[in-house]
Amino acid sequence: MSVAHPTINPPDKSINPRRSLSRAAIRDEDDRVKTSGQFIITGGKPLYGEIALAGAKNAVSKMMVASLLTDEPCVLENVPAIGDVAIIVELLERIGSGVAIAGPSARIHTPAIKNSRVLELSRRNRIPILAIGPLLARAGEAEVPILGGDKLGPRPVDLHLEALARLGAQIEITKTSYRARAKDGLHGARIALRFPSVGATENAMLAAVLAKGRTTITNAALEPELIDLIMMLQKMGAIIELAPPRTITIEGVKKLHGVTHRIIPDRNEAISFACLALGTNGKILVKGAVQEHLITFLNAVRRMGAVYEVTDDGIAFSRENTNGHASLKAIDIMTDSHPGFMTDWQQPLAAVLTQAEGTSTIHETIYEDRFAYAHDLNEMGAKMKISMDCPEGDACRFGSGKFYHSAKIEGPTELTAANCAVRDLRSGMVDIIAALMAKGVSVVDGVEEIDRGYEKIDERLRNLGAEIRRV
Ligand code: EPU
C-alpha cells in the first residue's frame, strides 16, 4: 500500500495531563518479570550468536485491551514477559476479566464488565486510556487513570480525547482520571488527525468497531503493531478497510467474537540486538526479525557500510570486515512515522554511531525530548552534542520551539565504562549497548524501566556472551 507523508502540526503545549511517576509506581511485582535495581556489565568484547525476538510490546498491551470488546474468550500467543503486560493484567482484572497466562500464551475472558471505573493502578503506562472505547461500548461509562509511560516530552492526549468526543463520548478530566460517558451510545464519525498518532489512531479504532455507523480516520498511523491490531479485530468480526493516503475506514458492528491471535515479533527488540552486533563488532542472528518491518533501518545499516543477511530464520547483522578493518561510516537519520525511521530506533543506533567515522546527525521529529541518554554516552567518552536546531534544510514541527531534538555524533571514539542511570525504556537499552561496547565495568542503575519492555534481557544477552549481572 502506498503511504503518504504524514501531516504534522506543532505540538500543543497547553495540554499535559501526565503526572510524574516515581520509580516505585512503575516497579513490577509480577514474578514473571525479574526486576531489581542494577546491571553490572563488563564490556569491550564482541557478541556472537542467535537471539529470538519476543512478541511486540507495542502490540500486546493494545490487544489485551481489545479483548474487552467481546464477552467471549480471547487467546493471545507470543506474549512477552514484560512489565507492561503485568500492568494491563492489573487493569483487566480490576474491570472483571479472567486472565490466565501460561508461558507466552494469555487467555483473557471478560464475560461481563464488573467495574467500568478503574481509579488507581499500582503501576502505570500509557495504555489504560485505550480502554475508554471498549468500556463505553459495553458499559456506557468508563473511568481510567491518567497516563504514565516514558518521559519523552509533554506527550499530550488531545488527539485521543478529540477522537473519542467525535465518536460521541463526553469526557471529563479529573485530577487523577479520564471519566467518560456516551449518553446516546457511540456513533461513527469523520476523524481527521492533525498528526498520525499511534495511540490516538488505536483509541479511535477501538471505540469505532462497536459504534453505530461508519468511521473514517484520516492521517492515521500505520505502524506494523497497529496493523497487527487491525488483523486481530478483523478476526473478531470487525469491518476495517485501509486505503491510501493513511485512511482507515471502520463500519461498526453489533458484536465481536473471541479470537486466537499470534502477536508479531518486536521490531524494537530487533533493532536493539542489531545495534549490539554492530556496536560490539560481533555477529548476531536476530531470529524472527521481519524484513518488511525494518526496511528503513536496514537501509541505514547499508549506508553505514555494515552488513545484514536476510534468512528464513531472521536477519543476521555484522560489520563488513575489509582487510581486517571493520569500519563504519557516519550517516544522517531523521525519525518519522512508519514507514519512516522509527523514533525508538535512534537511541540504540546512536551507540553504534559513536564508532562511525565522521559526523552523524540524528533529527528527532516524533518526540520533543528523546536525547536524555546523550549524557551517559558522553560520560563513556562519546562526542554527542544535542541541539534545539533542525539540521539544515530539514525543518520540522519542533524547529521553532525550545526542544533539544537533534544531535551530532563525532566518531569514532573509544568508549570506557561509566555509571549510568536509566531514564526511559529505550535510553536504558542504549546504556546496556554502550556498556557492552565499553572497556571496563559499568553500572546501569534503574533497570526496572528496561524490564517494562524487554523480556529477561540479562539472561538473553548472556547467551550471546555478554557479561551482564543483575544485582
Ligand atoms: N501526540 C499528540 N497528541 C496526542 C497523541 C500524541 O500531540 O493526543 C504526539 C505525542 O506527543 C508525540 C507524537 O504525537 O509527540 C507521537 O505520539 P504517538 O501517539 O504516535 O505515540 P504513542 O502511541 O504514545 C507509541 C509507542 C511508542 C512509540 C510511538 C511512535 C506504545 C505503547 N508506545 O506511543 O513506543 O515511540 O508510538 O511510534 O505503543 C517505546 O516503546 O518505548 C515507545 C515510547
pLDDT in tens, 395-448: 998 987 789 999 999 999 999 999 999 999 999 999 999 999 999 999 999 999
| In a shared domain, residues 275 and 211 | no
CA of 307 to the centre of ligand 1 (A): 30
pLDDT over 70 (residue 302): yes
Greatest extent of the chain over all pairs of C-alpha atoms, in Å: 72
pLDDT over 80 (residue 347): yes
Q: What span, in angstroms and rounded, lies between the C-alpha atoms of 258 and 72?
A: 5
Model confidence band, residue 218 (pLDDT cutoffs 50, 70, 90): very high
pLDDT (0 to 100) of residue 289: 98
Residue 174 CB partners (closer than 8 Å, separation 6+)? none
pLDDT (0 to 100) of residue 395: 92
| In a shared domain, residues 314 and 250 | no
pLDDT (0 to 100) of residue 13: 35
- Residue 8 within a domain: no
- Residue 113 within a domain: yes
| In a shared domain, residues 341 and 440 | yes
pLDDT (0 to 100) of residue 148: 60
pLDDT (0 to 100) of residue 153: 61
Q: How far is CA 334 from the centre of its chain?
A: 17
- Residue 17 within a domain: no
| In a shared domain, residues 378 and 440 | yes
| In a shared domain, residues 166 and 181 | yes
pLDDT over 90 (residue 195): yes
Question: What phi-psi label fits residue 374: left (phi over 0), alpha (psi between -120 and 50 degrees) or beta?
Answer: alpha
pLDDT over 90 (residue 30): no
CATH number at residue 284: 3.65.10.10
How does the average pLDDT of the chain come out, rounded?
90
Task: State which residues form the domain around 328.
Answer: 34-52+265-470
With beta carbons less than 8 A apart as the criterion, state whether 85 and 108 touch. Answer: no
| In a shared domain, residues 355 and 428 | yes
CA of 462 to the centre of ligand 1 (A): 31
| In a shared domain, residues 225 and 186 | yes
pLDDT over 60 (residue 149): no
CA of 326 to the centre of ligand 1 (A): 36
Query: For the chain, what is the domain count?
Result: 2
Residue 366 CB partners (closer than 8 Å, separation 6+)? 335, 336, 337, 343
| In a shared domain, residues 170 and 98 | yes
Residues linked to residue 55 through DSSP beta bridges, in sequence order:
265
Beta carbon of 426 within 6 Å of any ligand 1 atom: yes
Q: Name the residue of 197, 272, 449, 452 whose CB sits within 8 Å of the most ligand 1 atoms, as the mutation to test its pocket.
A: 197
CA of 73 to the centre of ligand 1 (A): 29
pLDDT in tens, 155-180: 789 999 999 999 999 999 998 899 99
- Residue 203 within a domain: yes
Q: Which of 245, 262, 279 is the last residue of a domain?
A: 262
| In a shared domain, residues 273 and 214 | no
Residue 344 CB partners (closer than 8 Å, separation 6+)? 268, 271, 426
Neighbours of 69 (CB within 10 A): 27
Q: Which residue has the least CA distance to atom 29 on ligand 1?
A: 198
- Residue 25 within a domain: no
- Residue 181 within a domain: yes
Q: Which of 222, 239, 262 is the last residue of a domain?
A: 262
pLDDT (0 to 100) of residue 150: 58
| In a shared domain, residues 230 and 167 | yes
| Among the listed residues 56, 128, 83, the one whose alpha carbon sits nearest the alpha carbon of residue 428 | 83
Q: Which of 227, 247, 262 is the last residue of a domain?
A: 262
pLDDT over 90 (residue 320): no
Model confidence band, residue 14 (pLDDT cutoffs 50, 70, 90): very low
Length of the chain: 471
C-alpha cell belonging to residue 54: 519476543
| In a shared domain, residues 120 and 221 | yes
- Residue 192 within a domain: yes
pLDDT over 60 (residue 1): no
With beta carbons less than 8 A apart as the criterion, state whether 47 and 465 touch. Answer: yes
pLDDT in tens, 256-276: 999 999 999 999 999 999 999
| In a shared domain, residues 283 and 410 | yes
Beta carbon of 355 within 6 Å of any ligand 1 atom: no
- Residue 20 within a domain: no
Q: What span, in angstroms and rounded, lies between the C-alpha atoms of 454 and 119?
A: 27
Full DSSP string of 192-259: E-SS--HHHHHHHHHHHTTSBSEEEEES----HHHHHHHHHHHHHT-EEEEETTTEEEEE--S----E
Residue 319 CB partners (closer than 8 Å, separation 6+)? 278, 281, 305, 306, 307, 326, 327, 328
Closest ligand 1 atom to Cα of 127? 32
pTM here is 0.92
Beta carbon of 367 within 6 Å of any ligand 1 atom: yes
pLDDT (0 to 100) of residue 65: 98
